C-alpha cells in the first residue's frame, strides 16, 4: 500500500559532516510528495533511517549530488537489500554523476553486481521527471561535477544545495523555494583559502538572494557554534533558520 500525501515533505535522514558524530548520520534526505518518494544522497547511516519512513522497494529514485563517499556510502547497504534481500526484483534507480558504478563495484570486490541501476546526470544541469515530482538540477562549485537539486510538485519545492562554496548557481536554482537546505561547514568561522564549502555569512547572503520560505543548515563541522551560526544567517535573512533536525518531517 503506497502512501499518498497532498503536500511535499522533506525529511533529513542524516545532515552531518563527513565524519562521525554520535547523534548524526552523514548526508541523506527523503522527499515525499503525492505518490512519490525520492532520496537525495545516501551517506553512511541514512539507508537504515530511510527504512523507517518508506519501504525501499517503493522508493522511486535516488539522486546523488556528487561522488564524495559521505554522500553515497550507504548505496552499498542498499545494494545488499536490493540484490539479496527483500528488494530482489525491484531494482533501485540511481541518478548520479558519471562514474558511480565503477566506484561501487570496486568496493564490492568482484561480487556480481545487481539491484541498482545507475543513470548519468547530464553535465551542467537539467530536469528529471520522477513519478509525481520534477527534479531540476544545476552544477555548483565543489567536487566536479556536483549538482544542487530542486524537487518540485504542485508549486511546492525544496532545494538542496549539495556541498558547495559560495556561488550564484544555487540561489538562482533556489529562487523562491519553500525550503532551502544549505551546507554550512564552517559555521561562524571563515572559509579557508581554496575550500569548497560554505560558512554562515555566505549562507545568509545566499538566502537573502534566493528568498526561500525557510532555511535549514546542514553538513556543519561538529566543532562549529550552532547558535552563533544561526545568528549570523539571520543578519542577512529574516525568515526561519535552524540546523536541520534529523528524522523530523518538514512540510512545504
With cell 545488499, the residue in question is 80
Given the complex with Zn ion, which of 9 and 41 has the nearer CB atom?
41
3-state SS assignment for residue 145: coil
C-alpha 5/C-alpha 179 separation (Å) is: 18
We find the least distance from the C-beta atom of residue 88 to Zn ion, in angstroms, to be 32
Looking from the CA of 148 toward its CB, the CA atoms found within 13 Å total 28
# of chain residues touching Zn ion (CB under 5 A):
2
Site string for Zn ion, 4-43 (x = CB under 5 A): ----------------------------------------
The answer to whether 76 and 38 have CB atoms below 8 angstroms apart is: no
We find the least distance from the C-beta atom of residue 70 to Zn ion, in angstroms, to be 7
Q: Which of residues 158-197 bind Zn ion (CB under 5 A)?
A: 163
Given the complex with Zn ion, which of 74 and 152 has the nearer CB atom?
74
The answer to whether 200 and 225 have CB atoms below 8 angstroms apart is: no
**Long-range pairs, 103-110, Cβ under 8 A, ≥24:** 103/67, 103/72, 104/72, 104/75, 104/76, 104/79, 107/76, 108/76, 108/79
We find the least distance from the C-beta atom of residue 27 to Zn ion, in angstroms, to be 8
Piece of the chain touching Zn ion by CB under 5 A; list 24-32, 66-74, 97-105, 220-228 = 66-74
Piece of the chain touching Zn ion by CB under 5 A; list 54-62, 155-163, 165-173, 221-229 = 155-163
We find the least distance from the C-beta atom of residue 143 to Zn ion, in angstroms, to be 5
Strand ranges in 64-186 using DSSP code E only, listed in sequence order: 92-96, 116-120, 125-130, 133-140, 146-153, 156-160, 179-183
Given the complex with Zn ion, which of 37 and 218 has the nearer CB atom?
218
**Does the footprint of Zn ion cover residue 68 (CB under 5 A)?**
yes
- The span from the first CA to the last CA of the chain, in angstroms, equals 24
Count of Cβ atoms closer than 10 Å to residue 216 Cβ: 24
Given the complex with Zn ion, which of 64 and 215 has the nearer CB atom?
64
Given the complex with Zn ion, which of 88 and 195 has the nearer CB atom?
195
We find the least distance from the C-beta atom of residue 89 to Zn ion, in angstroms, to be 33
Given the complex with Zn ion, which of 72 and 206 has the nearer CB atom?
72
We find the least distance from the C-beta atom of residue 200 to Zn ion, in angstroms, to be 18
Copy the grid coordinates of residue 69. 563517499
Residues that bind Zn ion (CB under 5 A): 68, 163
Amino acid at each position: 500500500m503506497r502512501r499518498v500525501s497532498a503536500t511535499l515533505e522533506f525529511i533529513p535522514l542524516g545532515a552531518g559532516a563527513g565524519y562521525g558524530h554520535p547523534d548524526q548520520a552523514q548526508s541523506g534526505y527523503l522527499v515525499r510528495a503525492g505518490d512519490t518518494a525520492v532520496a537525495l544522497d545516501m551517506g553512511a547511516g541514512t539507508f537504515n533511517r530511510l527504512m523507517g519512513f518508506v519501504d525501499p522497494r517503493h522508493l522511486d529514485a535516488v539522486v546523488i549530488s556528487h561522488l564524495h563517499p559521505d554522500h553515497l556510502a550507504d548505496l552499498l547497504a542498499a545494494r545488499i537489500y536490493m540484490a539479496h534481500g527483500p528488494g530482489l526484483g525491484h531494482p533501485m534507480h540511481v541518478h548520479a554523476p558519471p562514474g558511480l558504478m565503477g566506484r561501487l563495484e570496486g568496493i564490492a570486490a568482484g561480487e556480481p553486481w545487481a539491484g541498482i541501476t545507475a543513470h548519468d546526470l547530464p553535465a551542467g544541469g537539467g530536469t528529471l521527471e520522477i513519478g509525481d515530482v520534477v527534479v531540476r538540477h544545476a552544477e555548483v562549485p565543489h567536487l566536479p561535477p556536483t549538482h544542487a537539486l530542486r524537487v518540485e510538485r504542485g508549486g511546492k519545492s525544496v532545494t538542496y544545495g549539495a556541498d558547495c562554496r559560495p556561488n550564484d548557481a544555487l540561489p538562482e536554482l533556489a529562487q523562491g523555494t519553500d525550503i532551502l537546505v544549505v551546507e554550512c561547514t564552517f559555521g561562524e568561522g571563515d572559509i579557508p583559502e581554496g575550500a569548497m564549502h560554505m560558512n554562515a555569512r555566505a549562507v545568509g547572503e545566499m538566502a537573502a538572494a534566493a528568498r526561500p520560505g525557510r532555511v535549514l543548515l546542514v553538513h556543519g563541522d561538529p566543532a562549529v557554534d550552532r547558535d552563533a551560526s544561526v545568528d549570523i544567517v539571520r543578519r542577512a535573512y529574516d525568515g526561519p533558520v535552524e540546523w536541520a533536525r534529523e528524522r523530523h518531517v518538514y512540510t512545504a
